[in-house]
Chains A and B, each alone.
Chain A
Amino acid sequence: MNKQPVTMPVLSDTMKTGRIARWLKQPGEPVKAGEPIAEVESDKALMDVEAFADGYLVGPLAPTDTDIPVKSTIAWIADQPPQAASSPSAPSDTPASQAETPPAVEPEPAATQSDTTAAPPPASSSPPVTPPSTPSESDQTTRPAEASETSAVVSAAIATRAHADGGATPFARGLAAELGIDLAQLKPGPDGRIRASQVLAAAIGPQMPHLELGPIHRIERPGAVKAAMAENMQRTVHTPTFHVTIAVDLKPLQEAAHANKQSLTLLLTRACALSVHEHPDFNACWTPGGLARRERIDVAVAVDTPDGLITPVLRNALRSIDELHEDWRELKGKLEKRRLKPEDYSGATFYLSNLGTFPIVEQFDAIVPLGAAAILAVSATGSDGLTRMTLSCDHRVVAGADAARFLTTLKEHLGAVEALTQ
């Protein structure tokens, strides 16, 4: 039986691990090339893993709802149906049965380590220490090299090592003291011990709040969309930001939208795109190498979903309102089926966040995502009949006067109802 591994696909640039939402095929079932065999949850969306060849799905299947590093083996496709009696690691297959086991996200470092909590292993797991039943066997001079991983000598060397008992390495302690990190707040590494990498991650990453002083708590892992939001927002902490707010009378536009059965959000999107077109600095973004100027205006619209915040992108948002409507319907369809792909929600050059559906919110501001110069926060119409719009800007790209000019243009476009609704 020939078999090839099925691996956790890399679904986006930022994806490091994926979770299998469910298996669509079970071991032993025939599969056809291109047929979905599993659903994988990437950092934002559900995607299918397809069979790359005709054959039979063979286990062991990777567990569902577990973070699995990309490119790890999650299953196998064989050219023959597996026989009931033979397991995938039967002797006829490759000897490295250990390598075939799909790893969890933080795999045990090595076979030798998993032995370490045990006292010196029983004789049966030692290299074959054969009693000299025949003279030729006892004359064998060298121990086979491949046996050394679990040799008695190596087992003894690692048997006394402390594991999973908390604590930190001396180097980690020194680093923590120097960096002012509280070791008690750190999550230990895979072996239960705090090492330098955990200290460094804490030093440059988010700080752990002092939960021990408050009520008893439990930690709930965020879903993929919420986790991605947290990470994306965390990445913006070094963006120097300022905010400029204007008040606009949106009633004429709201009435036109209602009359034409057009989405106010899409009209706002188009008005933003037209303004960005006239103020191209707002289509740039800061990079370590300089300003990245983009040749097309792609506007992302923040959408509140049960999974969390997601930002579908309307490409070339200068197009007519009808075309934008068509694209938006398609994006919303994917969104409802949780089938949005990275290219559907990444790479925007400008962002729009509209809380107009919450009349209580009269003004708010938003965080500029990495990759954009600005985001426009639109609230509901206020008690004075005016709608507050706040532009949050990356001050490395634009200045206050730029924002004022941009908002002046935006207000003009929002007032030109006829042109905007075409």
Chain B
Amino acid sequence: MQTLTYWQALNRALDAEMAADDSVFILGEDVGLYGGTYRVTEGLYAKYGERRVLDTPISENSFTGLGVGAAMAGMRPVVEIMTVNFALLALDAIIDMAAKIPFMSGGQFAMPLTIRMPGGTAHQLGAQHSQRLEHTLMNVAGLRIVTPATPQDAYWQLRQAIRSDDCVIVLEHELLNFDQGPVDETIEAPPPHRAMVRREGSDLTVISYSRMANQALAAAGQLAAEGIEAEVIDLRGLRPIDWDTCAASVEKTGLLLIAEEDSRFAGAGAEIAATLAERCFASLRAAPMRVAALDLPNPYNKRLEQDIIPQPADIAAAARALINENS
């Protein structure tokens, strides 16, 4: 099996869908001639031409709105928003148009629109360019959100997003772009919102998504050295969430730790904790615990930036604290 970086996997997915379906086209800033800020659209402009890979001005609300219109007209646009931070400018097109038109038109219009946006905290990009906006998008009825953590999932989930007749946000992560991993382009993909048990364990359940799922796996490795077997679940998506997989694990272990890169207040972890507390109440041996970013704008200083985001050692320490409550 081939090994690809995360961005190469996204690139392959775009290429495959563009080759398979003429109605698929890409638009965004620097996606054409430049090949994408994170190289995700590299080579596609040369291969498919300027009619299918459209460079746009710096005008997020406009070109996202253009994508909405094209989707209403039967195309399968893939909008690239350079980073999640700039999606704030496009929220009207995303929330008031893409998410609502199928509903408000009584289903007369489908919304086969894909919006890619790498998010998360990278290295010292400052508070305005280091955000995690999943909490904002998760709350919007009418959207689907996938959060691939591996190159394989990036490949699968982007292809599935493009084929979906609903608006799908592909929430990538800037620090994952150069992660390498095996990508099999031939096997059948699991459903896009199926959560995956990345590591089995019996002592506690750690639920996470995107890059933090990989950090949770690293933490589980540290814990295993101490004899604590953590089950690590990668949600792979935030809307909808595969509660059955999560609940089965929590019912098995009785302890739930949620690791998220976003701030804990009203974040994804809050939703996960609340729903699983409702669903698994009688199985829980302790209240769910969330290890999340501090409730702060991201500091620029490297050390401070590290300190506000959970690291694998933090996830492991939180897991120990949760286990110790029960010993």
Contacts and interface: CB of A to CB of B under 8 A. Distances in A.
Given A110-B324, A157-B289, A161-B289, A170 B281 contact: yes
A158 B313 CA distance: 15
Contacts of A113: 321, 324-325
B286 A169 contact: yes
A158 B324 contact: no
A191 B293 CA distance: 26
Contact of A152 (B285, B307, B318, B326): B307
A233 interface: no
A173 B291 contact: no
B325 A157 contact: no
A69 to B, nearest CB: 13
Interface in A194-227: 195-196
Given A129-B304, A129-B307, A169-B284, A152 B294 contact: yes
A193 to B, nearest CB: 8
A171 B254 contact: yes
Nearest to B284: A170
A148 B317 contact: yes
A207 B290 CA distance: 37
B221 to A, nearest CB: 13
Contacts of A132: 301, 303
A169 B294 CA distance: 27
Contacts of A174: 282-283
B92 interface: no
A157 B306 contact: no
A415 interface: no
B287 interface: yes
A125 B283 CA distance: 35
A169 B326 CA distance: 10
Interface stretch (A14-22, A136-144, A319-327): A136-144
Contact of B320 (A110, A142, A196): A110
Contact of A148 (B264, B289, B293, B311): B311
B308 to A, nearest CB: 7
B216 to A, nearest CB: 13
Nearest to A169: B285
A153 B289 CA distance: 12
Contacts of A116: 321
B302 interface: yes
Contacts of A154: 291, 314, 317-318, 321
A149 interface: yes
Contact of B314 (A148, A191, A196): A148
Contacts of B294: 152-153, 156
B219 to A, nearest CB: 10
A171 B283 contact: yes
A161 B308 CA distance: 19
B283 A170 contact: yes
A195 B311 contact: no
Contact of A109 (B284, B287, B289, B327): B327
Contacts of A152: 294, 307-308
Given A151-B307, A157-B290, A173 B282 contact: yes
B276 to A, nearest CB: 11
A153 B314 contact: yes
A157 B291 contact: yes
Interface string A57-99: 0000000000000000000000000000000000000000000
A401 interface: no
Nearest to B263: A156
A419 interface: no
Nearest to A148: B313
A171 B282 CA distance: 5
Contacts of B110: none
Interface in A126-179: 126-127, 129-130, 132, 137-143, 145, 148-149, 151-154, 156-158, 161-162, 169-174
Contacts of A110: 320-321, 324
Contacts of B311: 142-143, 148, 151, 153
Contact of A171 (B284, B291, B302): B284
A153 B324 contact: no
A7 interface: no
B277 to A, nearest CB: 8
A289 B283 CA distance: 36
B282 A151 contact: no
A101 interface: no
Contacts of B314: 148, 151, 153-154, 157
A127 B309 CA distance: 14
Contact of A112 (B264, B287, B292, B320): B320
B316 interface: yes
A127 B307 contact: yes
B227 to A, nearest CB: 15
Interface string A108-121: 01101100100000
A417 to B, nearest CB: 62
Contact of B264 (A142, A145, A156, A173): A156
A196 B287 contact: no
Contacts of B291: 153-154, 157
A153 B309 contact: yes
Contacts of A156: 264, 292, 294-295
A350 B227 CA distance: 45
A151 B303 contact: no
**The 9 A-B residue pairs with the shortest CB-CB distance in the complex, in nearest-first order:** A109-B324, A148-B313, A174-B282, A157-B291, A170-B281, A171-B285, A170-B284, A153-B314, A157-B318
16 contacts: A110-B320, A112-B317, A112-B324, A113-B321, A126-B307, A129-B307, A153-B294, A153-B314, A154-B317, A156-B295, A158-B318, A161-B287, A162-B287, A170-B281, A173-B282, A191-B325
Given A141-B306, A171-B254, 11 more contacts: A110-B320, A110-B321, A130-B303, A137-B303, A138-B302, A140-B303, A143-B303, A148-B314, A157-B291, A169-B287, A170-B282
Interface of B: 254, 264, 277, 281-287, 289-295, 301-304, 306-311, 313-314, 316-318, 320-321, 324-327
